Structure 1
Amino acid sequence: MTKIRIAVQKSGRLNEDSLKILKDCGISIDNGKDQLKATARNFPLEVFYLRNGDIPQYLRDGVVDIAIIGENVLVEKGKDIIIAEKLNFSRCRVSLAVPKSAKYDSIQDLKGKRIATSYPNTVKEYLAKQGVEAELHIISGSVEIAPNIGLADAICDIVSSGSTLFKNNLKEVEVMLKSEAVLAVSPKISNDCKEILKKIQFRIQSVLQGRRNKYVLLNAPNDKLEDIISILPGMRSPTVLPLAEKGWSSVHSVIQSDTFWEVIDELKQAGAEGILVCPIEKMVV
């Protein structure tokens, strides 16, 4: 039986988020501690636990068929790799930072400066577009310390909350790119594995749709029903059911998470009562 091989980061937050979305897709993985490979119990899938920076080459060589990986890693090491799906988690940005005490007005201030980074290709491309030449020091590991020990005038690194920069007395001055986890596909994937990939994508899309929406139930007086329905975006149109109490109806609909509070405020002002909000596990559209 054909099994699709997926690479995920060996450890860290991306590892946890990757395994969570596979679990939410109903894929059960037998993974013991320190295993480098595991098999799904109920789906034709094998998981390879790899170093993030090695995954693009494994995809390119066809050692794995697909991977959950940070988009920033593909920009740096795998621009030829196809992205099948953006996964809306493990978001970060790749940014330039300088010491807080440094004067910085624009990217031109980095001309001739020393920049420490583990993303040399990303930095070179960005600086070239800005017409800036700088000296790059390629470091694998913690680059934040480089300005403090006199190795560099600036750094390029991944930024999530910015707390690491703050602790190292640095300030973010340029966002070069924004990144999130993506589902990447090997150029050597077989036709059989492409069929399995379609099933995985369908499940992932259903999970992501669920995460992006909330299920809402509310009570509405019938004389305000039209106004309340007009506020609800819904999938097509909300479900309206009569309540036991005369003159009232129950309205069921779906609201996008990113506009949730604004819509709820409008619903209350329009006369909605007893608003109940539920998470959506999966949403098949």
Structure 2
Amino acid sequence: MSNLRLKIALQKKGRLSDDSIELLRRCGLKLLSSKSSLFYSAENYPIDLLLVRDDDIPTLIQDGICDLGIVGDNVLKEKTQVNLEFSSCFQTIMPLNFGRCRLSIAVPKDQEYQTIDFLQNKRIATSYPILLQQFLKQENITAQIVSISGSVEIAPGLNMADAIFDLVSTGRTLAENNLKELYVVLESQAVFFKSTSEFNSEKKKIYDVLLKRIQSVIKAQESKYILFHAPRDAISKIREILPGCESPTILPLEGSEDKVAVHVVSRESVFWNTLEKLQTVGASAILVLPVEKMMA
């Protein structure tokens, strides 16, 4: 890897890895993988990707081996709490709106509980001992933390623990292991972060372009392009109905003096009830389209 190329550390497998690579491809990077598939090089831009274990990503940024990283916020928080010096080494640039999950306390389904005090003097298995320790201290709970590097969900079934503290996405893994979610401690998603060290002028230019493209892709994902016909005198009501919209483009309709064509970009979710409200003020021929790219 050339020192003149920007290096990004990504998780080497899993949904977060796939979504990270897809995000960068949507930013226009043409990625070529190595034989091992642990290294990607962009053929059309000076950027390289290194695919590693998720908990190694912050270390690679801290040591200056990579310039940027994409990782779950839960991993970054755990790492910075293990070594408080880490927290001054990183700058979270932005959340990326994928890899959403939560760190939760879960217990066997047949276990009865009333409050979080149920955990008092219990054994809790986790891969995130520091975040769990913080939570227990905050709740004034004394419990035994059982650190496990993987497959935390099997611990209660093996009588290794009375509860677990682990990542939950859909809840399917919990159900498969006869567990139920008791308490959500931390909401997490993928974040884009960097070292607090300054880039040299060449890397700064590459970084600035990449950041702008990522922001544009995410803005496009959050936006919809909406087209419809509407009575000219209903435009003010339509602006109130559509969430997060900019000023609409109003175009005349041939053969109609009292109706116009409305084009608008909405930066929030457009649900069925929003479309039904538009109909109540006279909108018709409503079309909602995804936005592929969007730049201010």
1:189 shift after superposition:
4.9
1:129 match: 138
1:220 shift after superposition:
1.2
Following the alignment from structure 2 to structure 1, what is the Cα–Cα distance between the partners of residues 73 and 128?
13
Q: Which moved more, 1:30-39 or 1:1-10?
A: 30-39
Q: Deviations over 1:88-124 (max 9, x none)?
A: 1110000110111112222211111111111101100
2:12 match: 10
1:177-256 matched pairs, under 5 angstroms: 177-192=186-201, 193-233=203-243, 235-247=245-257, 248-256=259-267
Q: Report runs of 4+ in structure 1 exceeding 4 Å deviation.
A: none
2:52 match: 50
- Paired letter, 2:237: D
CA RMSD for the aligned pairs? 1.7
Pick aligned residue for 2:105 from 96, 119, 132: 96
Q: How many residues align?
A: 285
Distance 1:33 1:160, change over 3 A: farther
Determine helix, strand or coil for the equivalent of 1:185.
Answer: strand
Following the alignment from structure 2 to structure 1, what is the Cα–Cα distance between the partners of residues 239 and 105?
47
Q: TM-score, normalised by structure 2?
A: 0.91
Q: Deviations over 1:10-41 (max 9, x none)?
A: 01101110011101111111114532222111
1:134 shift after superposition:
0.8
Gapped runs of 5+ residues in structure 2?
Answer: 82-86
Matched, 1:272 2:274: no
Q: TM-score, normalised by structure 1?
A: 0.95
Decide whether the 8 Å contact of 1:99 with 1:154 is kept in 2: yes
Distance 1:109 1:227, change over 3 A: closer
1:283 match: 294
Distance 1:240 1:126, change over 3 A: same
Determine helix, strand or coil for the equivalent of 1:62.
Answer: coil
Decide whether the 8 Å contact of 1:4 with 1:196 is kept in 2: yes
Decide whether the 8 Å contact of 2:243 with 2:270 is kept in 1: no
1:67-78 matched pairs, under 5 angstroms: 67-78=69-80
Following the alignment from structure 1 to structure 2, what is the Cα–Cα distance between the partners of residues 229 and 242?
18
Following the alignment from structure 1 to structure 2, what is the Cα–Cα distance between the partners of residues 174 and 281?
37
